[in-house]
Amino acid sequence: DTGVSQDPRHKITKRGQNVTFRCDPISEHNRLYWYRQTLGQGPEFLTYFQNEAQLEKSRLLSDRFSAERPKGSFSTLEIQRTEQGDSAMYLCASSSREYNEQFFGPGTRLTVL
């Protein structure tokens, strides 16, 4: 499969726990994006990487959220001390330098109890 992949697909956790999600972009894409989506809403931008550099982070992202892309390939998104309001679908997308088209992974659905 040469598309964007995400792991896990579903995560149920208790409030206060830490969770980490992984995204593997399309191999030749150097740009990687994280979004959050709640039911009935459009994707909400969280952060953006070009290669290993995190170039932008949404003001909406609290300091409990951190993302890395250490080797410019896969990325991880960590949420510390999860809250019920963090329950959402977390989407990853990637694009190439030359073209803006963003291709999405299947998402990780997080449920915080």
End-to-end CA separation in angstroms for the chain: 33
Write down how long the chain is.
113
- The answer to whether 43 contacts another protein (rule: CB under 8 A) is yes
Nearest to 69 by CA among 30, 35, 101: 30
- The answer to whether 48 contacts another protein (rule: CB under 8 A) is yes
- The answer to whether 56 contacts another protein (rule: CB under 8 A) is yes
- The answer to whether 102 contacts another protein (rule: CB under 8 A) is yes
C-beta neighbour count of 74 within 10 angstroms: 16
Q: Which residues pair with 92 in a beta bridge?
A: 34
- The answer to whether 91 contacts another protein (rule: CB under 8 A) is yes
Q: Which is nearer to another protein, 27 or 100 (CB)?
A: 100
Total binding residues toward another protein, as defined by CB under 8 A: 20
Binder among 61, 94, 105, 110 for another protein (CB under 8 A): 105
